[in-house]
Amino acid sequence: KELRRTLFVSMGNEVVDMARPNPFERLCRTLGGAKAEGFVWDSKFMPEEDHGSVVLRTHYWGLKKIFEGYRLTGDAKTGAFEGNLSELQEHYSKFSKRRNAIFTPSEALVNLVAYEALREKDFKRAIPIFSYNVELYPTSANAYDSLGEALERASRPLEAVASYEKAVQIGEKEQHPNLGVYIRNRDRVLRALSMEKKTP
């Protein structure tokens, strides 16, 4: 009744000269009648390949089927994901449920989505996504630095300093190649805060 699995089957030229329906066609017919909830399957007949050469192409098409729906769908023209944090989380939650495993977006992908919102000065959408990246990757100096940038641009300097400082701490511990950038970002906001205090 339920089988949350994905099956991809292929066939090379072994069945070309066999009577129809051949074994591959019969298998596909059987799979087409499967009623199990969560079961997904697909097939590809590659008569131009033989028993050995079909393997590589099968890996490609099989992995595409297994991970179908993993990528975020974006704007038709730009390809950019325009959803908010809850929509981002829902996308991976649904995919995880379909694949019966836990999938989370990469740090780079979350940062990309957040920066797309930040470029539009949509701080209400960008900052929660940057914060989510810190939650997912709490040992990443880059995640804290990116959150700091968003907070700084949103005119939240005290929070920005705290996030930049965290990036510096992690960067120092790891001897991160971008440590100098993290320090400059933190110090820039600290100087601006200092100037504000001096202004009568």
- Rounded-to-integer distance, Cα 132 and Cα 114, Å: 10
Cα separations in angstroms, 78 against 50, 81, 116, 188: 40, 9, 11, 33
**What's the predicted TM-score (pTM) here?**
0.79
pLDDT in tens, the chain (200 residues): 899 889 999 999 999 999 999 999 999 999 999 999 989 999 999 999 999 999 999 999 999 999 998 888 777 677 778 899 999 999 999 999 888 889 999 999 999 999 999 999 999 999 999 999 999 999 999 999 999 999 999 999 999 999 999 999 999 999 999 999 999 999 999 999 998 877 66
- Rounded-to-integer distance, Cα 146 and Cα 119, Å: 13
